[in-house]
Structure 1
Amino acid sequence: MLQRVRGTVNIQAELDDLIQAIEISKSMEVHPFRMIIQARYRPQLVMAIAIPFIEQVTGINVIAFYAPLLFRTMGFGESASLISAIVTGLVGTGTTFISMLIVDKVGRRSLFMFGGVPTFISQMIIGGLLAVQLGDQGGLSKGYVYLLLFLICVYVAGFGWSWGPLGWFVPSENFQLEIRSAGQSITILWL
């Protein structure tokens, strides 16, 4: 199976590492959750909590779940709600897929920055436009609605490049084998 996944017959060193890792994990006397709170694993524990927390604070849930409602509320009708959901879904999925293809070539930090900056800027503009234009009257012109749709797509694309996939990917790489199960459990708890 490893030969098929790797596409090469030269897998013996990796197979030996996997077998050795399984044997070590079977012989461990200390539970991974007890190990991860030790001082030497503190940076990994902090990242297991910080990365998913930051991912949630970016506001993707508000954009993803409330974009259709937002457009309907702005008087754009049911069709705009469907269009915004389809467009943001396609943009997010496409950028996430591309991000996973190039993550090893470009690097995690570059993707965090390349996607995080437009995500932050577009979110600030969206919030500012809604605060200034909606105010107490509760309506927007069609020009502003199209601008908001564009900014939401920029936001979703930036999130798809960076925090979306890397929020799952980076924490899993940070954990040594002996604490990986505990670290992934903590990361998923926050997501």
Structure 2
Amino acid sequence: MNVFVFYAHVLFKSMGFGNNASLMSALITSIVNFCATLVSIATVDKYGMRTLFLEGGLQMLLCQLVMTVSIASKFGTSGNPGELPLWFSMLVVIAMCVYIAGFAGSIGLVSS
């Protein structure tokens, strides 16, 4: 989670968000984190903390795999992706948001 908080602006800038990358990354990650925390608070009594913890961990693992494969396929070893298509940028941003939601719904709930 620390990687997304500290380096999200770099990821957003490389995805084509331009000069507003820092603002957009902070806004998007904060909103997703807040909403996912509210959902987890509302559902923890129904499903139990263990279920949310396991589901959040699986969600984070799958999102890491999607982001790793997609970024590695575009950037490769050269580090120069060229022009990134909109669908690719949206895929990475959505995977990041789902990862943050998984964190807020599982680890964040258990640690509080």
TM-score, normalization: structure 2?
0.84
Using the TM superposition, give the Cα deviation of residue 125 of structure 1 relative to its aligned residue in structure 2, in angstroms: 0.7
Aligned residue number for residue 10 of structure 2: 69
Alignment RMSD (CA, Å): 1.7
Asked if 1:138 is matched to 2:81, the reply is: yes
Structure 2 matches for 1:98-113, cutoff 5 A?
98-113=39-54
Which of 23, 28, 31 is residue 82 of structure 1 equivalent to?
A: 23
CA distance in 2, matches of 1:144, 1:129: 8
CA distance in 2, matches of 1:119, 1:164: 13
Secondary structure of 1:92 counterpart: helix
Q: In the alignment, is the contact (CA less than 8 A) between 1:84 and 1:149 conserved in 2? A: no
Secondary structure of 2:81 counterpart: coil
CA distance in 2, matches of 1:161, 1:121: 15
Q: In the alignment, is the contact (CA less than 8 A) between 2:10 and 2:21 conserved in 1? A: no
Structure 2 matches for 1:29-48, cutoff 5 A?
none
CA distance in 2, matches of 1:122, 1:113: 14
Using the TM superposition, give the Cα deviation of residue 128 of structure 1 relative to its aligned residue in structure 2, in angstroms: 1.2
Give, as a single letter, the amino acid of the residue that structure 1 aligns with 2:89.
V
CA distance in 1, matches of 2:108, 2:19: 27
Secondary structure of 1:65 counterpart: helix
Which of 124, 129, 143 is residue 70 of structure 2 equivalent to?
A: 129
Give the gaps of 5 or more residues in structure 2.
Answer: none
User: More relative contact order in 1 or in 2 (CA 8 Å, sep 6+)?
Assistant: 2
TM-score, normalization: structure 1?
0.52
CA distance in 2, matches of 1:118, 1:81: 25
Using the TM superposition, give the Cα deviation of residue 61 of structure 1 relative to its aligned residue in structure 2, in angstroms: 0.8
How many matched pairs?
Answer: 109
Give the gaps of 5 or more residues in structure 1.
Answer: 1-59, 170-191
CA distance in 2, matches of 1:64, 1:125: 19
CA offsets per residue over residues 15-45 of structure 1, 9 Å max, x none?
A: xxxxxxxxxxxxxxxxxxxxxxxxxxxxxxx
